[in-house]
């Protein structure tokens, strides 16, 4: 446990090192990055084996940082953070494996990549709102560069849109947090202090503050109608960055909603709850329907991310232990599965065929040329549809059950989304790999597709493994998550008995 903060420092050091190594050779930069990410993940897993779940976050470091403003360098971890730390390590490692073919400015790529990862680890470990915010923003600028420099379709537009949306969202968060801090008479940014200060505000003020902070974070979580950065950003990003975006960056937003906005302003949540739930449901259905008619397979995955994140937001809005635990589990699950889907369409398919148009891909009958990719995509598709045995199933099930407790109508409407997800997933799987022109010969040009490389196989197996293990035994994570929801900070927000 004590070593968890080193995930941040290691990632930052790895960023510097791979920048330096990249000036000598691309291979050196890759190995440095992979070594760093794997080592950080190793630290997380080592901590996870000795982790005993508790209601209160376990403090790792607590130092004076900015005494005049009450900011502390306070890192702590509970079951929710542990779940997301494991996800971060996994997504970071797999993302590097799927970025193995980055040949241009390799050192810089991994420097930005690892800086982003450091910020993500920092967010999941922060127990101080100011520190949380600093790490949160640390993840924005590297994203911009990853997309703008190494991206594809419309990359500068996608990168700028994503950066501005994120920054505008975090500006709302900052405004709300500062307002609560300054007028509440809080002497620190510790979440507990802020919460007790905020509890004294009149309900009307809480409603406004909650809106600023929650919707500010929700921008990054892809809540409808603030989701429009997500598809363009995902599509423009290079594969590794798409995997990070969908895998962990969108989780930062949802995590901020859960960790900061909800405990600080319970009265705000009570007011906004129906609105958030319906926005989440609209997101699930709307993004699913849009995904159904896309011609670019990466856009399908991009919109499916928005749809799946809608489940997370619905779980948070339902605000009972079962739904929220499901939401955290869905964060993990979606991180793994979306990463896998992006890996297949971005790296395995697009980098070889140089097209993502479903109309073109269906002519290639790729299942014959890239059987491994086809297998992985089918598995990922099943997982994404919420097929039992994969992590998406227990997650979405528990969200829907929790939502039913809150309002049966929500659950019924969201369940439609599961059907739509099955439809668009089957469509994209079929058109991408099994379109088939009927003829047995493969076109000569595409026969020369390079075989699937070992980093791709390793990365895919890691992600599939995680989805299956959690799918078969969700208790591995739920046993961490559920006790954390008993924390006194959540008492006023998450109501109802243990799931």
Partner 1 sequence: MFFGLFHGIASPLAGSQPLAAAGLDYAGLGRALLPEAALAAGALAVLAVDIALLRAAGTALRFRAAAAIAAVAVVAALAFCLQTGSSGEVFGGVLVLDSLGTAARAALLCLTLVVLGVSAGAAVPRRPAEYCAIILFATAGFTLMAAAQQLLLAFLALELASLSLYVLAGFDLSRPESAEAAMKYFLLGAISSAFLLFGFSLIYGLTGTIDLTQIAIVLARQGPSPLLTVALVMVLVAFGFKAAAAPFHLWAPDVYEGAPAPSAALIASGSKLAGLVLFTRLLWPGLGEAAGDVSSAHFGAGWLPVLAILSGASLLLGNLAALVQTSLRRLLAYSAIAHAGALLLGVIVVGSSGPGPVFYYAATYALATAGAFGIVGILERTGGSLQIAGLAGLSRRSPPLAGCLLVFILSLAGVPPLAGFFGKFAVFAAALKLGGVAGPAGWLAVAAILLSAVALYYYLIVVKQAFVAPAPANPAPITVSPVAAATLVVAAAAIIVLGVFPSLLLGLF
Q: Cβ 155 to partner 1, closest distance in Å? A: 9
**63 contacts partner 1 (rule: CB under 8 A):** no
Q: Cβ 435 to partner 1, closest distance in Å? A: 36
Q: How many residues bind partner 1 (CB under 8 A)?
A: 32
Binding window for partner 1 (CB under 8 A); candidates: 60-68, 190-198, 278-286, 358-366: 60-68
Q: Is 296 helix (H, G, I), strand (E, B) or coil?
A: strand
* Distance between CA atoms of residues 187 and 193, nearest Å: 8
Cβ proximity to partner 1: between 87 and 172 the closer is 172
Structure tokens that stand for 105 in this block: 């400015």
Residue 105-124 contact track with partner 1, rule CB under 8 A, x = bound: ---x----------------
Q: Cβ 477 to partner 1, closest distance in Å? A: 31
> DSSP string spanning 245-293?
IIIIIHHHHHHHIIIIIHHH-HHHHHHHHHHHHHHHHHHHHHHHHHHHT
| H-assigned helices in 151-201 | 155-184, 191-198
Cβ proximity to partner 1: between 43 and 163 the closer is 163
In 3D space, the residue among 412, 390, 391 whose CA is nearest the CA of residue 401 turns out to be 412
Which of 180-198 are b and which e, b meaning 16 or more Cβ less than 10 Å from the residue's Cβ?
bbeebebebbbbbbbbebb
**141 contacts partner 1 (rule: CB under 8 A):** yes
CA 35 → CA 27, 88, 393, 453, distances in Å?
Answer: 12, 15, 32, 18
CA angle 64, 68, 73 (to 5 degrees): 25
Structure tokens that stand for 324 in this block: 């929220």
**66 contacts partner 1 (rule: CB under 8 A):** yes
**469 contacts partner 1 (rule: CB under 8 A):** no
Which of 292-302 are b and which e, b meaning 16 or more Cβ less than 10 Å from the residue's Cβ?
bebebbbbbbb
**203 contacts partner 1 (rule: CB under 8 A):** no
Q: Cβ 149 to partner 1, closest distance in Å? A: 5
Cβ proximity to partner 1: between 104 and 441 the closer is 104
**157 contacts partner 1 (rule: CB under 8 A):** no
Cβ proximity to partner 1: between 47 and 129 the closer is 129
Window 238-257: residues binding partner 1 (CB under 8 A): none
Window 158-187: residues binding partner 1 (CB under 8 A): 160, 163-164, 167-168, 171-172, 174-175, 178-179, 181-183
Q: Is 334 helix (H, G, I), strand (E, B) or coil?
A: helix
| Contact positions vs partner 1 (CB under 8 A) | 65-69, 108, 130, 133-134, 137-138, 140-141, 144-145, 148-149, 156, 160, 163-164, 167-168, 171-172, 174-175, 178-179, 181-183
């Amino acid at each position: 446990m004590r070593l968890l903060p080193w995930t941040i420092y290691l990632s930052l050091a790895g960023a510097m090192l791979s920048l330096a190594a990249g000036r000598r050779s691309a291979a050196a930069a890759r190995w440095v990055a992979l070594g760093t990410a794997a080592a950080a993940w190793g630290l997380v897993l080592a901590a996870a084996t000795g982790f005993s779940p508790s209601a209160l976050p376990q403090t790792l470091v607590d130092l004076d940082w900015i005494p005049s403003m009450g900011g502390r360098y306070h890192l702590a971890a509970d079951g929710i953070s542990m779940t997301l730390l494991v996800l971060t390590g996994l997504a970071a490692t797999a993302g590097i494996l799927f970025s193995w073919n980055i040949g241009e400015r390799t050192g810089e790529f991994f420097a930005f990549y690892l800086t982003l990862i450091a910020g993500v680890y920092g967010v999941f470990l922060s127990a101080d709102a100011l520190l949380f915010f600093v790490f949160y923003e640390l993840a924005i600028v590297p994203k911009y560069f990853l997309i703008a420099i190494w991206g594809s379709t419309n990359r500068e537009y996608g990168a700028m849109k994503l950066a501005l949306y994120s920054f505008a969202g975090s500006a709302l968060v900052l405004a709300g947090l500062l307002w609560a801090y300054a007028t509440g008479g809080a002497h620190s940014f510790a979440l507990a202090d802020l919460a007790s200060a905020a509890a004294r505000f009149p309900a009307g003020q809480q409603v406004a503050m909650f809106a600023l902070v929650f919707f500010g974070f929700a921008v990054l979580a892809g809540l409808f109608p603030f989701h429009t950065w997500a598809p363009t950003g995902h599509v423009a990003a290079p594969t590794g960055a798409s995997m990070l975006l969908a895998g962990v960056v969108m989780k930062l937003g949802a995590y901020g909603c859960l960790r900061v906005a909800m405990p600080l302003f319970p009265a705000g949540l009570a007011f906004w709850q129906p609105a958030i739930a319906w926005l989440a449901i609209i997101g699930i259905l709307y993004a699913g329907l849009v995904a159904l008619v896309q011609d670019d397979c990466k856009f399908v995955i991009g919109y499916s991310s928005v749809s799946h994140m809608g489940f997370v937001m619905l779980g948070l809005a339902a605000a009972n232990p079962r739904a929220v635990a499901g939401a955290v589990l869905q964060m993990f699950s979606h991180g793994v599965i979306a990463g896998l889907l992006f890996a297949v369409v971005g790296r395995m398919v697009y980098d070889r065929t140089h097209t993502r148009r479903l109309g073109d891909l269906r002519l290639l009958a790729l299942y014959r040329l890239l059987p491994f990719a086809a297998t992985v995509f089918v598995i990922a598709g099943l997982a994404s549809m919420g097929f039992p045995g994969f992590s998406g199933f227990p997650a979405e099930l528990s969200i829907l059950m929790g939502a039913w407790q809150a309002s049966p109508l929500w659950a019924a409407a969201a369940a439609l989304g599961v059907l739509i997800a099955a439809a668009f997933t089957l469509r994209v799987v079929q058109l991408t790999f099994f379109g088939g022109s009927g003829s047995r010969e493969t076109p000569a040009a595409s026969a020369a597709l390079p075989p699937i490389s070992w980093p791709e196989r390793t990365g895919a197996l890691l992600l599939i493994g995680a989805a299956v293990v959690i799918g078969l035994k969700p208790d591995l994570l739920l046993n961490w998550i559920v006790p954390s929801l008993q924390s006194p900070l959540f008492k006023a927000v998450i109501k109802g008995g243990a799931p």
